[in-house]
Structure formats: structure tokens, C-alpha cells
């Protein structure tokens, strides 16, 4: 697996395809680049597809201190600089979608299009009491659970009730690779993130995707993005939970390809 060095951190990534246009995939809070395997294989006939292990995830180094969402966005822009990529399509799922929105805020000129899947505007948009409960639960998990225990507890929640045992085993294995340092840093960053002000400023083509059975990011949160981003398109991924790109990759990839085909600059 190749790597880029950003601010002294080794950031690993996977890539496939050779097209001039790059699709950069950003994973969620308990995942890594392995969660994009269907996109690496299914979209790379048309595009160059890159999936990173964010700081503190997968085979990447742990960050030296807790990060803000803005820091993840800045790591991402330097990562793109390292790869010589000037303007890309960002595909962000869950926390990756929040990072994508923040990336647009800070580095607007580097974004050709946005695909925001099963995501929202960050924890900062939630009521204070709800934020506190959610963050405390995540931080407690890093102190009381092993990665394997977290995977067993968290895995089923990220899929629909109809997911196959094989898919559940794959998702559990991916979560089991979580770095507790990275998860803790990301949990703090996501709790403080608030991208609501970004949404009406987004002027690049944007597609919102939402898994039909996603209980982690409820439909109203996806609707918020759709309604606030000018001209955004919306599509439901049928039969899928929160990890819609893994649970129904055929529908997910089809939606991505049709969206990009409809954009003259893509």
C-alpha cells in the first residue's frame, strides 16, 4: 500500500485506475480505506480512485494530538499536494462527509464535485445534552473496550437488519482495526464540528446519498443537506444501512457514475 508523508505523519492509501480525474474517498469514524474496496474496483475503470487511511486510522500514523475537523481537512489538502492532485471529486461517508464539507469551506478551489453519503453537519449542530451523551459514550468506549469489543458492539448498528453474515464479519473486521487514539481524536473533532454555514455556499455539483435503513444518520439529517445545498441531487440507496457503499455497492456506484456523467466538468 503506498503512502504519503504529511507533517511528519505517514498516511497510507489505496488507489486504482489511471484517469486524469481523481475520486478521493474519505471513510467514517470507525473505518479505514478497506471500506472502499467496492469503489476501488467498481469505479476505477472510469476514474482514478483513491481511498486514504486518515490520521490515526488503518496503516497511517496516529496524530500527535487531538485534531479539529479543520485539521483533518488540512491534512487532506496536503495529502493531495503530495500526490500532485489539484482538483478532485470528494466522496465522504459519515464523518468523511463532514470532513468533505469542511474541506470545501477551507479549500474551495480544490473541489470539482462533492458526493456526501450517510452524513450530516457534525455534532456541533446537535442539542448540547445530546452532544454530551454521545461524546461521553464514545470516549468511554476507548477507555473500557478493546478494538475487537468495539467492533462487536458497533458493527451491527452500521448495517441494515438484512445484511448478510459475511458482510457483518467484514465490517466487524474493519472496525476491529481501529486505533483508539485515532478514534478518540476523531470523536472530539466530530463533536465540535458544525458545517451548517457551509451548505448554502457550496457551488460545485453535489450528490447526497442515503442508505434506506440508515439509523445512525436518520433521513432528516440527509434532507438537511439536500435542502440547504443549492442544486444538490439526492438519491436513496435501497436495502442499505449506514455503510451504504459496502451494503449495496452496485446501487452506490451506479449513483456515483450517473451523477458524474451528468456533470460537464467531470
d(CA 108, CA 112): 9
Whole-angstrom distance, CA of residue 77 vs CA of residue 167:
32
pLDDT for the residue numbered 27: 98
- Go through the chain and tell me how many residues it has: 266
pLDDT at 264 over 90: no
Asked if 101 contacts 115 with a C-beta cutoff of 8 angstroms, the reply is no
**8 Å CB contact between 183 and 215:** no
Q: Where are the alpha helices (DSSP H) in the chain?
A: 37-42, 69-82, 95-106, 128-144, 147-154, 165-175, 180-192, 219-228, 244-247, 249-261
**Predicted local distance difference test score (pLDDT) of residue 231:** 98
Percent of the chain with pLDDT over 90: 94
pTM of the full predicted structure? 0.97
User: pLDDT digit string (tens) for 83-122?
Assistant: 999 999 999 999 999 999 999 999 999 999 999 999 999 9
pLDDT at 36: 98
The answer to whether the CB of 190 falls within 8 A of the CB of 122 is: yes
Q: What is the pLDDT of residue 263?
A: 93
Cβ neighbours for 233, distance < 8 A, ≥ 6 positions apart: 205, 206, 207, 208, 259
**pLDDT tens per residue across span 172-225:** 999 999 999 999 999 999 999 999 999 999 999 999 999 999 999 999 999 999
Res 65: pLDDT: 78
265 pLDDT more than 90: no
Q: Residue 125's pLDDT is what?
A: 86
CA angle, 87 then 236 then 155, to 5°: 90
Higher pLDDT, 127 or 24: 24
Phi, psi angles (nearest 5°) of residue 58: 55, -130
Share of the chain above pLDDT 70, in %: 100
Q: What is the pLDDT at residue 2?
A: 94
The number of angstroms, rounded, from the C-alpha of 37 to the middle of its chain's C-alpha atoms is: 14
β-pairing verdict for 88-93 and 3-6: unpaired
**pLDDT tens profile 137-174:** 999 999 999 999 999 999 999 999 999 999 999 999 99
Rounded distance between C-alpha atoms, residue 155 and residue 133, angstroms = 20
Cell 467531470 found at: 266
Q: What is the pLDDT of residue 1?
A: 75
Query: Angle at CA 176, nearest 5°, toward 174 and 177?
Result: 70
Q: Across all residues in the chain, what is the average pLDDT?
A: 96
**Residue 225, pLDDT score:** 98
**DSSP secondary structure letter of residue 114:** E
26: nearest Cα among 81, 79, 90, 87: 90
Say how far apart CA 73 and CA 25 lie, in whole Å.
13
Amino acid at each position: 500500500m503506498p503512502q504519503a508523508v504529511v507533517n511528519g505523519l505517514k498516511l497510507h492509501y489505496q488507489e486504482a485506475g489511471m484517469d486524469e480525474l481523481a475520486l478521493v474517498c474519505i471513510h467514517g469514524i470507525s473505518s479505514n480505506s478497506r471500506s472502499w474496496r467496492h469503489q476501488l474496483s467498481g469505479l476505477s475503470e472510469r476514474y482514478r480512485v483513491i481511498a486514504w487511511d486518515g490520521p490515526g486510522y488503518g496503516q497511517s500514523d496516529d496524530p500527535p494530538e487531538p485534531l479539529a475537523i479543520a485539521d483533518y481537512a488540512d491534512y487532506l489538502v496536503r495529502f493531495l499536494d503530495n500526490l500532485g492532485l489539484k482538483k478532485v471529486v470528494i466522496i465522504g461517508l459519515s464523518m468523511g462527509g463532514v470532513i468533505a464539507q469542511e474541506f470545501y469551506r477551507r479549500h474551495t478551489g480544490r473541489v470539482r464535485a462533492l458526493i456526501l453519503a450517510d452524513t450530516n453537519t457534525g455534532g456541533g449542530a446537535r442539542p448540547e445534552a445530546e452532544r454530551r451523551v454521545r461524546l461521553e459514550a464514545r470516549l468511554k468506549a476507548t477507555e473500557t473496550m478493546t478494538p475487537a469489543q468495539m467492533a462487536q458492539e458497533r458493527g451491527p448498528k452500521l448495517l441494515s437488519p438484512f445484511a448478510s453474515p459475511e458482510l457483518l464479519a467484514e465490517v466487524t473486521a474493519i472496525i476491529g482495526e481501529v486505533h483508539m487514539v485515532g478514534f478518540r481524536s476523531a470523536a472530539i473533532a466530530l463533536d465540535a464540528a458544525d458545517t451548517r454555514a457551509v451548505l448554502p455556499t457550496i457551488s460545485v455539483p453535489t450528490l447526497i446519498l442515503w442508505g434506506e435503513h440508515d439509523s445512525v444518520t436518520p433521513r432528516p439529517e440527509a434532507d438537511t443537506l439536500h435542502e440547504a445545498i443549492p442544486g444538490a441531487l439526492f438519491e436513496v440507496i435501497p436495502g442499505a444501512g449506514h455503510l451504504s457503499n459496502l451494503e449495496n455497492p452496485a446501487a452506490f456506484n451506479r449513483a456515483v457514475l450517473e451523477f458524474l456523467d451528468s456533470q460537464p466538468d467531470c
